[in-house]
Chains A and B, each alone.
Chain A
Amino acid sequence: MPDYNVMELMVCVASRELEEGASVGVGTGVPCAATMLAQKTHAPNLLIVFEAGGVAPLLPEMPISVGDSRTFYKGVMASGMVQIMETCARGTVDYTFLGGAQIDMYGNLNSTQIGFDHDRPKVRFPGSGGANDFASLCWRTMVVTPQDSRRFVEKCDFITTPGYLTGDDAREKAGLPKGCGPYRIITNMAVMDFEPVSKRMRIISINPGYSVEDVQKNCGFELLKADKIIETAPPTAEELRILREEVDPERYVIGR
Chain B
Amino acid sequence: MGAFENGIGKLFTDPDPDNARAFFRKKSREMKSKVMTVKEAVEKFVHDGEYLAIGGFGANRIPTAVCHEILRQGRKNMGFAGHTATHDFEILAAGKIFDRLDASYVVGLEARGLSPNARNYLQSGEVDVTEWSNYGLAARFRAAGMGVSFVPIRTTLGTETCKYGAGKIITCPFTGEPYLAVPALYPDVAAIHVHACDIYGNSQIKGISISDLDVARAAKRLIITTERIIHSDEIRREPNQTAIPYYLVDAVCEVPYGSYPGNMAYEYFSDEEHLREWMKVEKDPDAFKKFLDKNIYNCKSHFDYISINGGMEKMMKLRQKELLILAQEI
Contacts and interface: CB of A to CB of B under 8 A. Distances in A.
Contact of B108 (A53, A78, A125, A136): A125
Q: Which residue among A53, A118, A133, A158 has the maximum number of chain B CB atoms within 10 Å of its CB?
A: A133
A132 B169 contact: no
A65 B158 contact: no
Interface residues of B, number: 67
Q: Which residue among B4, B111, B132, B142 has the maximum number of chain A CB atoms within 10 Å of its CB?
A: B111
Contacts of B135: 51, 81-82, 85, 130, 132-133
A162 interface: yes
Query: Secondary structure at chain A's binding surface: helix, strand, loop or mixed?
Result: loop
B103 to A, nearest CB: 5
B272 interface: yes
Interface string B49-88: 0000000111110000000000000000000001010100
B161 A132 contact: yes
Contacts of B136: 128, 132-133
Nearest to A124: B122
Nearest to A66: B110
Contacts of A121: 122-123
A152 interface: no
B158 A123 contact: no
A74 B301 CA distance: 35
B14 to A, nearest CB: 22
B295 interface: no
A245 interface: no
Given A80-B208, A132-B161, A65 B123 contact: no
B125 to A, nearest CB: 5
Contacts of A185: none
Given A118-B160, A129-B134, A175-B179, 10 more contacts: A72-B265, A126-B107, A127-B104, A132-B133, A133-B155, A158-B160, A159-B1, A165-B158, A174-B178, A175-B157
27 contacts: A28-B111, A51-B134, A51-B135, A53-B208, A53-B210, A65-B263, A67-B60, A67-B208, A68-B59, A69-B60, A80-B208, A82-B211, A118-B160, A122-B123, A124-B119, A126-B107, A129-B84, A131-B133, A136-B154, A136-B157, A137-B155, A158-B160, A160-B160, A161-B161, A173-B3, A175-B179, A176-B158
Interface of A: 28-29, 51-54, 60, 63-69, 71-72, 78-82, 85, 89, 108, 112, 118-133, 136-137, 158-162, 165, 170-171, 173-177, 252
